[in-house]
Structure 1
Amino acid sequence: MTGMPKRRQEMLFWKKPGPVDFIVAGLGNPGLRYSGTRHNIGFRVIDELSRRHGIPVDRNRFQALAGTGVIGTGPGERGVNVLLLKPQTYMNLSGRSIQAAASFYKIPIGRIIVVFDDVCLPVGKLRVRKKGSDGGHNGIKSVIEMCGSEDFPRLKVGVGSPGEGRDLVDWVTSVFEGADRERIERVIPVAADAVEHMLTGDFDGAAGKFNGRFVE
């Protein structure tokens, strides 16, 4: 394959037959108590993808709410078969759900996209990464432990820093307020756009397009 164009090599790498090509998992906590909180932004992005593409995420599978369907990746493309997943294990055990789904569908680690909150980014910022450490995020820590690898792509959604003197857990389980609340509603569709780009396998392109952007 050395003489093959890079893009063609990438497409061959990502081509995979079967009922599911990618898992897209949004992290969060179950229950009304956590609805709309910063920690549940991953769920919100999954909800947006579900709405756009008509994929109900309402089946109880893999200790999660799940739904399968096709997400288009561009004009003339066949689209990508995806499993949208909202683990119901609580954040710190999210990896159990994702690993169970990946094992069932035989999905390699590089085709598991995880969407989650990041307190190191302001509200309005996104960051695409091909792989990496948990960065202190317990949900990502669980995914790494259960899947046995850090080599999964992820989308970080900025939820802002708690600032000095405020407890981190209290912050991430609080709802958005004021200007942050208005802005996060504009961020969610852009985050869904980023996931759609990532589903092409072009993570460098997705990073180039979305990492430097600030949603006003």
Structure 2
Amino acid sequence: MRLVVGLGNPGLKFKESRHNLGFMVVEELAKKFKASFKRNIHCKAYVSLNKEVILAKPYTFMNLSGFSVRRLKEKFDISLRDILVICDDFNLPLGKLRLKPQGSSGGHKGLSSIIQALESEDFPRLRIGIGRPLEEDFSSFVLSRFSQEELSIVKEAISKAVSCTQEWIYQDIQRLMAKYN
């Protein structure tokens, strides 16, 4: 069994923000699997269980995502290599995907929280580029919505991320890195 965690912030205020790309991908995956999410109070996440994969959206807010991921890992007895975390990345150009088998947080506070909670960097992650802000106010930028001009690129990136994740459920990550990075 594999676990796919999309990172984001709960609530309508953040629904279509740049920082919620992880949620957006996991929601699209749920549609593909014809699955729905149920609130799991123990894990503090919206969880969708099916035969192939567990999908999750922590509702702890981005910077506390590690709590949910650790609880999900423990509850479902998932190994680190079978957890894929999907998140935004302002160090990548808009729409660019970067799949890695492990690594640092790269300054992403959601990933930092997960690394701290799991006491390891050894879990796969799929980062999706949101571009860089024109000014240095990163927090306002990541919480902002995409412009109309950016939306077509974002939709294509979400579609690629969904395909990549569906393939990751069954395939070796090295092959997928060559295909999607």
Unaligned ranges ≥5, structure 1: 1-20, 71-80, 212-216
- 1:33 maps to 2:4: no
Q: Measure the CA separation in 2 of the matches of 1:23 and 1:103.
A: 11
Instruction: Tell me how large the CA RMSD over aligned residues is.
Output: 1.0
The number of residues matched between the two structures is: 180
Say if 2:60 is the partner of 1:89: yes
Normalising by the residue count of structure 2, what TM-score does the alignment of the two structures yield?
0.96
Identity %: 38
* Aligned position for 1:53: 33
Alignment of 1:23 with 2:6, yes or no, is: no
CA distance in structure 2 between the aligned counterparts of 1:183 and 1:201, rounded to whole angstroms: 26
Q: Any gaps of 5 or more consecutive residues in structure 2?
A: none
Q: Which residue of 2 aligns with 1:214?
A: none
- How far apart, in 1, do the equivalents of 2:9 and 2:39 lie? 17
Give the counterpart letter for 2:130 in structure 1: V
- Higher CA-based Rg: 1
Counterpart of 2:39, as a letter, is R
Separation in 1, partners of 2:110, 2:104: 12
Q: 3-state SS of the aligned residue for 1:160?
A: coil
Question: 1:100 corresponds to which residue?
Answer: 71
Instruction: Report how far residue 201 of structure 1 moved.
Output: 3.9
Following the alignment from structure 1 to structure 2, what is the Cα–Cα distance between the partners of residues 32 and 190?
Answer: 25
Q: Structure 2 matches for 1:1-216, cutoff 5 A? A: 21-61=1-41, 62-70=43-51, 81-163=52-134, 165-211=135-181
Q: Distance in 2 between matches of 1:143 and 1:45?
A: 19
